[in-house]
Amino acid sequence: MKKSNIYSSGDQRKINPNWFTGKVHMKDISSKIKSKEQGVYHVYFHNGAKTKLHYHSGNQILVATRGSGSLEIFRRFGTSKSNFKIKRTEKISLNEGDTVYIPAKTLHTHGSVNKKKVFSHIAINILPTRSSEYRTIWYESDFKSNVTKSVD
């Protein structure tokens, strides 16, 4: 049995700047507690930062732990894998203590809504099956109507 404290220092996961707008840092809880069925991360979004548009191969649960944020859901139009149109279909406010479930393959973004404060959440990425790798597909977009490319 392993334990971790979400507020302790250490266990930082390296951030790929292609996946976020602005300053973000993340604590890798799953590696500390040796979780095999899900990835668990405590993510901090500074000064209005958010994820770029993306979807996951497995389901995801977000638990807001600090500040104010949002989850935006998008619908995809077109057949191109990396250049297509989008339309926001839902915007959900996230405040401390709020929990939301995001089904696999749902195109979305989440992060801070306040340019002067931090928003944080715990992300629980539920692995699709024991033999499958949890994958996240990231995109460059204007967050309004256009996706211009896939990013790594």
* CATH code assigned at 78: 2.60.120.10
Q: Give the residue among 82, 30, 80 at the shortest CA–CA distance from 54.
A: 82
Is 29 domain-assigned? yes
Residues in contact with 15: Cβ distance below 8 Å, sequence separation at least 6, in sequence order: 24, 25, 26
Question: End-to-end alpha-carbon separation of the chain, Å?
Answer: 34
116/63 Cα distance (integer angstroms)? 21
The pLDDT of residue 66 is 96
Is 113 domain-assigned? yes
Is 11 domain-assigned? no
Q: What is the pTM of this model?
A: 0.91
In the block, tokens 């993510």 appear at: 43
Pairing of strands 53-56, 136-141: antiparallel
Is 1 domain-assigned? no
Is 9 domain-assigned? no
Q: How many domains does the chain have?
A: 1
Domain span at residue 63 reads: 19-151
The pLDDT of residue 131 is 64
The pLDDT of residue 10 is 66
The pLDDT of residue 133 is 78
Q: Which residues of the chain have pLDDT under 50?
A: none
The pLDDT of residue 42 is 95
Is 3 domain-assigned? no
